[in-house]
Amino acid sequence: MNKYVPVLLMFAIVFSATQLLTWSTAEAGKYPRLRADAGDDFKAFENQEVKLDGSDSKGAFKKFVDFEWELVRVNGAKVNNQPFEINNNDEKQASFMAPEVPSGEITYEFKLKVRDTVDREDDDIVTVHVVNQQVPLGPT
C-alpha cells in the first residue's frame, strides 16, 4: 500500500495544478475582449469644433464604466500642460475647439482609455491634423 502513496500524491499535484490553470483560463474567457477604438486619423480646420468619437469601442457587453480622452502629443512632443479644454472628456464622444494654426498644420494625438465593469482597461490613439484655413495662392 505504501508504494501507491507517491503515485497518489503526484496525481493530486497534477490534478490541482490542472484545475488552477483551467479555472484562470475560464475566468479570462468569461468576458469578451476589451477594445478601445478612438476612430481613424483625420484632418480638421482651425477655429472649428472637432469631434472625437470612441463609439466603436467594444468589451464586456458594452458596459463601460469609464471613458477618458486626453491630449498626449502635439507635433510628436509629449504634452505636460493641456493647451485647450476637451469637452465631455469622460464620454464616448468628446470635442474640442481647434486652435488657430499660423501656417500649415499642427498634429494632435489623443488617447482614449476605456475601463469596463470588471476593471479591465484598454487605450487607443487617434491623430488629428489641424490645418490652416487659408488656401495657398497660386503664382502671380
- pLDDT score recorded for residue 12: 65
- Name the grid cell of 72: 498626449
Give the residue from 57, 122, 61 showing the smallest Cα distance to 91.
Answer: 57
Q: Does position 129 have pLDDT exceeding 90, yes or no? A: yes
Residue 134 banded pLDDT, cuts 50, 70, 90: confident
Decide: pTM greater than 0.85: no
Give the residue from 48, 89, 50 showing the smallest Cα distance to 67.
Answer: 89
